[in-house]
Structure 1
């Protein structure tokens, strides 16, 4: 029971998966447009997950050197189109900053 998630509750911080990276890649253009820069390095490293009307993720992305970006992303359920939406993004984090929901 400890590994089950309740709808609306956040998971602990986990290592990013291939699926996490795919979610990041789906919003990369939006992130680049917001910060007016192109990211050569853009690698998901950690994430937290909540379930609502689809997965809601907070993701820590390594963006090169010592720069980490935190993304807040929502993915619609397939029956609602399955679109991945960038909800919020924060730049200027470090490797050791906690991955908080925002």
Structure 2
């Protein structure tokens, strides 16, 4: 009988914890649900050349160095990638790149970017 009681107690505790976590996640902003900061993936996985061309066009200059340093993701109706990019010397850019859902078959698009960043600037939602 004590085994059943113990098992029931564990189930109640688990359900209570899950319910509280679910309620908490509904009140958080979308950015807080992003994946944690991590080293950047291989740029080839994101059709990196398309993004680089879009940034160069907006900035009006060519970048000899264009290396992703780290990124965060945000799940929307697709995926927003927030990427910190080293562009030479001590200069960095923060990019927001949108990747649509697979069935839409659209190329990556540069949604927004911030220039004049440093290595110490935190990658945050913009």
Alpha-carbon distance in 2 for matches of 1:77, 1:97 = 30
Larger Rg belongs to: 2
SS, match of residue 35 in structure 2? coil
State the SS of the aligned residue for 2:56. helix
Match for residue 93 of structure 1? 117
Deviates more, 1:24-33 or 1:58-67: 24-33
Provide the rounded CA distance (Å) in 2 between the counterparts of 1:34 and 1:53: 25
1:82 Cα deviation after fit: 3.7
CA–CA distance in 1 between the matches of 2:71 and 2:49?
14
Aligned to 2:37: 13
Distance in 2 separating the partners of 1:64 and 1:44 = 12
Q: Is 1:64 the counterpart of 2:117 in the alignment?
A: no
- Structure 1: which 5+ residue stretches go unaligned? 1-7
Query: Aligned to 2:69, which of 42, 45, 57?
Result: 45
Task: Find the counterpart in structure 2 of residue 74 from structure 1.
Answer: 98
* Runs of at least 5 residues in structure 2 that lack an aligned partner in the other structure: 1-29
Report the more deviating stretch, 38-47 or 9-18.
9-18
Q: Report the structure, 1 or 2, having the larger helix content.
A: 2
Question: Whose strand fraction is larger, Structure 1's or Structure 2's?
Answer: 1
**Structure 1 residue 32, shift from structure 2 partner:** 0.4
TM-score of the two chains, using structure 1 as the length reference: 0.85
Secondary structure class of the residue paired with 1:64: coil
For the residues of structure 1 that align with 2:122 and 2:49, how far apart are their CA atoms?
22
